[in-house]
């Protein structure tokens, strides 16, 4: 166990005990720093008891026809647990409701696994409920047990898609596979967390390092543009440590583009910091809200995506987020899971909790109304739905870009309306795209996709301005502000060339999303191209305004000074003397897309280079 503290478990079961076996196997293989002291059942015939006996474990049968363990029996049970020094009780297919006396005797020390994505489908027959409701996703949930039925704080969840061919049995079997994976991991988070609470702060086991609450706050605020209610975050961190319950950190992603880009990773990095302190991240894919379309920052109504487009893009997101996030502490969820079950009555009740006047205070809505531009009803719904997600997920913290502030505040207010503690809000800055003007966006053509080839990522990073380089260092790397200031100072003093600093930045980003070897190869390729003078180290820059039209390349050559006339430009093209972004231009009718910000290298002859910047 490598010196880790071993916790003592009691397992409660009523049936075949497959989850008990998954836990016991994890203990036996050394993956779970725990020891099973007792296996308890309400049924003498439970198959799980025989499996426990074959492992040499102590078994106990405490019959019950209804609620399990009243006041008297709870006292006897507690004394038995003390004798065996049981520290955590794990329900593994235990088919009895625990009495309040029992729950109170083990506060925040009872775990349960339930075969649905709570809070939907609690109680009996959750798979049947899922199939009858027509949901597209089900799964399982590990949660702390309180005095309600499957209502305690959620620790971890795993999502399982519902297939058209599923019946109750097949869905249950596929969920069970996830249960066997999830439950030992959740127990491990509780009994073997990276951090344990001491009076003066968090203590990282095994290295003697103590991180105070104030140091945690400083760590979590790296790169944060605005933190709403830091005192509440401090209180949540203290409460989490005292109860052993990780905070639930929510961030929503609308699947409007098929790939993640560096702009998305700003938030992912901040989410990972919470994971480094032992908390749980909920990566929420807004497949339902994606059908509406987020109006944030829009000057016109955005066309919603089809269900097919949303589903395809959501799957692509899932494949990419674990390049940064820790899969062990990540829940991937979909808000269609609860919103597709929302009745008309529920929706009207939700809508009654917010006023139109408050909604129209939103900056982009008010601007459009002043210009007599329409605001559709479905756009007013979007912030309500996003806010309700926080209610369902019981989020402690929600993250978003600075352009999402209104939506995040709605979630905070709705949680208060529904009797929950309002979430703390962390807003992250928006990363500028390659043009250095507008925020990074696939639709604007100024993005660096994290799945692009290593050489493409490297080249795009090298194309940004020297001034923008420091912004990328701050938001796209793990360097401290001290280290970034040192680089800035070295460049200013002339001891470090800006190009060398940019190479280090490009290699750092490529390493994260590909590998060290890929970063080295990308650097070699970049230097090879430059050593052959395919592109000069310095070239003249010319700007063109964004336009709705596509411009003939011959006209662009005249505008940027590479040809005295359109006729001469055409002749140069026919002589194979013109290339755009290293591609030879042979069509005299070739055009350049000026409808969005971009950066291109236009070359005429051997020495005529111009960087054409649109925007």
Give the span between the Cα atoms of 491 and 205, in whole angstroms: 40
Give the span between the Cα atoms of 460 and 11, in whole angstroms: 55
User: Secondary structure of the chain: what % helix, strand, coil (to 5)?
Assistant: 45, 20, 35
Closest among 404, 422, 400 to 413, alpha carbons compared: 422
Give the span between the Cα atoms of 217 and 237, in whole angstroms: 9
> Per the structure block, which two tokens stand in for 202?
């968090």
Please give the C-alpha separations between residue 115 and each of 22, 68, 172, 278, in angstroms, as whole numbers. Answer: 15, 21, 8, 24
**Residue 144 in contact with residue 111, Cβ under 8 Å?**
yes
**Residue 428 in contact with residue 270, Cβ under 8 Å?**
yes
Give the span between the Cα atoms of 35 and 32, in whole angstroms: 8
Q: Say if residue 45 is exposed, middle or buried (CB neighbours under 10 Å; 0-12, 13-18, 19+).
A: exposed
> Per the structure block, which two tokens stand in for 3?
């010196």
Give the span between the Cα atoms of 35 and 31, in whole angstroms: 11
Give the span between the Cα atoms of 21 and 18, in whole angstroms: 5
Give the span between the Cα atoms of 530 and 533, in whole angstroms: 5
How many Cβ atoms are within 10 Å of 399's Cβ, its own excluded? Answer: 25
Closest among 435, 431, 465, 445 to 543, alpha carbons compared: 435
Alpha helices (H) in 532-585, listed in sequence order: 553-559, 566-574
Give the span between the Cα atoms of 489 and 501, in whole angstroms: 11
Give the span between the Cα atoms of 611 and 602, in whole angstroms: 6
DSSP state of 581: T
How many Cβ atoms are within 10 Å of 181's Cβ, its own excluded? Answer: 13
Residue 114 is a catalytic residue: yes
**Residue 390 in contact with residue 428, Cβ under 8 Å?**
no
Specify which residues 68 forms β-bridges with. Answer: 98
Q: Which residues fall within 8 angstroms of residue 373, CB to CB, at 6 or more apart?
A: 299, 300
> Per the structure block, which two tokens stand in for 523?
């650097």
Closest among 559, 560, 551 to 594, alpha carbons compared: 551
Active-site option among 114, 261, 279, 514: 114
DSSP state of 301: P
Residues identified as active-site? 114
């Amino acid at each position: 166990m490598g010196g880790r503290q071993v916790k003592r478990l009691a397992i409660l079961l009523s049936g075949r005990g497959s989850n008990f076996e998954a836990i016991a196997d994890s203990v036996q293989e050394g993956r779970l720093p725990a020891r099973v002291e007792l296996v308890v059942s309400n049924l003498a015939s439970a198959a799980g008891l025989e499996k426990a006996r074959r492992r040499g474990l102590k078994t106990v049968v405490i019959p019950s026809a209804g609620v399990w363990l009243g006041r008297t029996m709870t006292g006897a049970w507690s004394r038995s647990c003390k004798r065996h020094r049981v520290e955590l009780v794990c329900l593994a297919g235990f088919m009895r409701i625990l009495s309040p006396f029992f729950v109170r005797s083990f506060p925040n020390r009872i775990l349960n696994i339930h075969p649905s994505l709570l809070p939907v489908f609690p109680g009996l027959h959750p798979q049947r409920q899922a199939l009858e409701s027509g949901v597209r996703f089900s799964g399982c949930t590990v949660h702390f047990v309180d005095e309600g039925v499957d209502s305690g704080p959620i620790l971890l969840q795993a999502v399982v898609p519902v297939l058209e061919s599923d019946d109750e049995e097949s869905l249950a079997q596929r969920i069970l596979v996830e249960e066997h994976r999830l439950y030992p991991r959740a127990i491990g988070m509780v009994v073997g967390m990276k951090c344990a609470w001491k009076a003066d702060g968090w203590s990282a086991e095994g290295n003697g390092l103590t991180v105070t609450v104030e140091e945690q706050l400083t760590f979590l605020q790296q790169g944060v543009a605005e933190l709403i209610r830091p005192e509440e975050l401090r209180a949540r961190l203290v409460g989490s440590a005292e109860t052993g319950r990780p905070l639930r950190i929510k961030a929503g992603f609308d699947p409007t583009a098929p790939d993640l880009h560096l702009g998305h990773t700003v938030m992912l990095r901040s989410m990972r910091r919470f994971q480094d302190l032992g908390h749980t991240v909920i990566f929420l894919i807004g497949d339902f809200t994606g059908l509406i379309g987020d109006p944030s920052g829009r000057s016109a109504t955005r066309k919603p995506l089809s269900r097919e487009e949303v589903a395809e893009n959501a799957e692509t997101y899932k494949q990419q987020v674990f390049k940064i996030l820790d899969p062990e502490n990540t829940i991937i969820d979909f808000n269609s899971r609860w919103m597709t079950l929302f009745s008309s009555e529920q929706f009207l009740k939700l809508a009654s909790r917010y006023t139109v006047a408050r909604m129209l205070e939103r900056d982009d809505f008010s601007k459009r109304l002043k210009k007599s531009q329409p605001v559709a009803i479905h756009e007013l719904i979007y912030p309500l739905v996003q806010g309700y997600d926080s209610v369902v997920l019981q989020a402690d913290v929600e993250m978003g870009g600075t352009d999402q502030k209104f939506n995040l505040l709605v979630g905070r207010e709705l949680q208060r309306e529904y009797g929950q503690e309002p979430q703390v809000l962390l807003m992250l800055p928006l990363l500028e795209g390659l043009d250095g003007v507008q925020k990074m966006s696939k639709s604007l053509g100024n993005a660096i996709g994290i799945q692009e080839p290593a050489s493409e990522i490297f080249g795009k990073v090298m194309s940004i301005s020297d001034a923008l380089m420091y912004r990328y260092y701050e938001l796209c790397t793990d360097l401290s502000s001290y280290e970034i200031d040192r680089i800035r100072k070295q460049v200013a003093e002339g001891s470090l060339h800006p190009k060398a600093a940019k190479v280090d930045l490009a290699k750092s980003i490529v390493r994260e999303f590909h590998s060290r070897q890929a970063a080295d190869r990308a650097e070699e390729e970049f230097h090879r191209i430059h050593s052959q003078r395919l592109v000069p180290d310095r070239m003249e820059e010319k700007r063109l305004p964004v336009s709705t039209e596509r411009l003939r390349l011959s006209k662009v050559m005249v505008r940027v000074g590479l040809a005295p006339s359109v006729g001469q430009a055409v002749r140069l093209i026919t002589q194979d003397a013109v290339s755009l972004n290293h591609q030879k231009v042979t069509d005299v009718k070739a055009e350049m897309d000026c409808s969005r910000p971009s950066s291109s290298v236009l070359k005429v002859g051997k020495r005529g280079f111009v960087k054409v910047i649109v925007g």
